Amino acid sequence: MPTPTAPHESRPGRLSGLRRAAVDSVAGLPRQFWWLWTSTLINRLGAFVATFLALYLTVERGYSASYAGLVGALYGLGGVISSVGAGVLTDRLGRRPTMLIAQLSTSVSVALLGFMEDPVAIAVVAGVVGMATNASRPAVQAMMADIVAPEDRVRAYSLNYWAINLGFAVSSTAAGLIAQHGYLALFLGESTLVLTCALVVFCKLPESRPAADTPAGPQDPAADGTSTAPVSMLTVLRDGRFMTVVGLNLLLALLFQQAYVSMPVSMGRDGFSSADFGAVIAVNGVLIVLLQIPVTRFIEHRSPATLLVGSALLAGYGFGLTALAGSVAMYALAVAVWTLGEIINSPTQMGLVVRLSPVHGRGRYQGMYALSWSIASLTAPLIGGTVIDHYGANTLWAGCAAVGTVAALGYGLLLRSLPATSPTTTASASSAPSASSTPSTPSASSASSESAPATGEPVT
Q: What is the pLDDT of residues 114-139, one digit of tens each?
A: 898 888 999 999 989 988 988 888 88
pLDDT, tens digit (0-9, with 9 covering 90-100), for 177-200: 776 777 888 888 888 889 998 999
pLDDT > 90? residue 358: no
Q: What is the pLDDT of residue 441?
A: 35
Eight-class DSSP state of 205: -
Eight-class DSSP state of 238: H
pLDDT > 50? residue 355: yes
pLDDT-derived band of residue 251, with 50, 70 and 90 as boundaries? very high
Least confident of 10-19, 79-88, 181-190, 437-446: 437-446
- 238 burial type by CB count under 10 A (0-12 exposed, 13-18 middle, 19+ buried): exposed
Q: How does 146-162 read in b/e, with b if 16+ C-beta sit within 10 Å? A: bbbbbbbbbbbbbbbbb
What mean pLDDT is reported for the chain? 78
Eight-class DSSP state of 418: S
- Stated pTM of the model: 0.71
pLDDT > 80? residue 225: no
Q: How far apart are CA 294 and CA 152, in angstroms?
A: 16
pLDDT, tens digit (0-9, with 9 covering 90-100), for 78-94: 888 888 888 888 888 88
Phi, psi of 260 (to 5 degrees): -110, -5
Q: How far apart are CA 172 and CA 45, in angstroms?
A: 9
pLDDT, tens digit (0-9, with 9 covering 90-100), for 50-85: 777 877 888 778 888 788 878 877 887 888 888 888
The sign of the torsion formed by the CA atoms of 156, 158, 162, 163 equals: positive
Q: What is the pLDDT of residue 405?
A: 96
Q: How far apart are CA 249 and CA 244, in angstroms?
A: 9
Q: What is the pLDDT of residue 229?
A: 65
User: Alpha-carbon Rg of the chain, whole angstroms?
Assistant: 21
Q: What is the pLDDT of residue 449?
A: 33
Q: How far apart are CA 119 and CA 117, in angstroms?
A: 6
Tell me what the mean pLDDT of segment 94-100 comes to: 91
At position 254, the amino acid (one-letter code) is: L
- 425 burial type by CB count under 10 A (0-12 exposed, 13-18 middle, 19+ buried): buried
> If we measure between CA atoms, which residue out of 53, 276, 65, 64 comes closest to residue 183?
53
pLDDT, tens digit (0-9, with 9 covering 90-100), for 390-405: 888 899 999 999 999 9
Highest-scoring range by mean pLDDT, 179-193, 196-210, 225-239: 196-210
The sign of the torsion formed by the CA atoms of 280, 286, 287, 292 equals: positive
Tell me what the mean pLDDT of segment 131-151 comes to: 86
Tell me what the mean pLDDT of segment 23-29 comes to: 72
Q: How far apart are CA 154 and CA 67, in angstroms?
A: 39
pLDDT-derived band of residue 228, with 50, 70 and 90 as boundaries? low
Q: In the Cβ-directed half-sphere of 69, how many Cα atoms lie within 13 Å?
A: 19
Q: How far apart are CA 106 and CA 444, in angstroms?
A: 34
Helix H or strand E encompassing 299 = none
